[in-house]
């Protein structure tokens, strides 16, 4: 299992207080382009209010990841081969570090 998926699991467990998990959560889904989307609810969590302007990362040729947060939800969308990069960007966001820069980074 990737370190970043393990981090997401741990973050989720820390938010579960008997209430949060009944109203909020995490969604990871496939898309038909093909790719992935990740939505992490931030309301009521230790990351509520944390913002991230929309940015595109290009970790390799023909690979892309979009990440952003409006303070209520962290969002990521990526190509079919970049799910781990998107999960890594949630960890970077949650730890308050600067987002990764790859060729083609714009933000």
Domain tally, the chain: 1
Sequence-distant (6+) residues with CB within 8 A of 40 are: 8, 26, 73, 74, 75, 90
Q: What is the pTM of this model?
A: 0.89
* pLDDT score recorded for residue 102: 55
Is residue 40 assigned to a domain? yes
Q: Which domain range does residue 49 map to? A: 3-94
Is residue 82 assigned to a domain? yes
Write the pLDDT tens digit of every residue in 6-54: 999 999 999 999 999 999 999 999 999 999 999 999 999 999 999 999 9
């Amino acid at each position: 299992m990737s370190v970043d998926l393990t981090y997401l699991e741990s973050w989720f467990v820390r938010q579960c207080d008997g209430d949060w998990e009944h109203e909020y959560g995490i969604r990871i889904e496939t898309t038909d382009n093909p790719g992935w989307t990740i939505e992490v609810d931030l309301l009521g969590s230790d990351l509520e209010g944390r913002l991230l302007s929309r940015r595109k990362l290009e970790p390799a040729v023909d690979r892309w990841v979009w990440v952003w947060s409006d303070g209520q939800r962290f969002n990521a969308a990526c190509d079919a081969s970049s799910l781990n990069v998107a999960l890594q960007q949630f960890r970077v966001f949650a730890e308050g570090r600067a987002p990764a820069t790859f060729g083609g980074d714009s933000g």
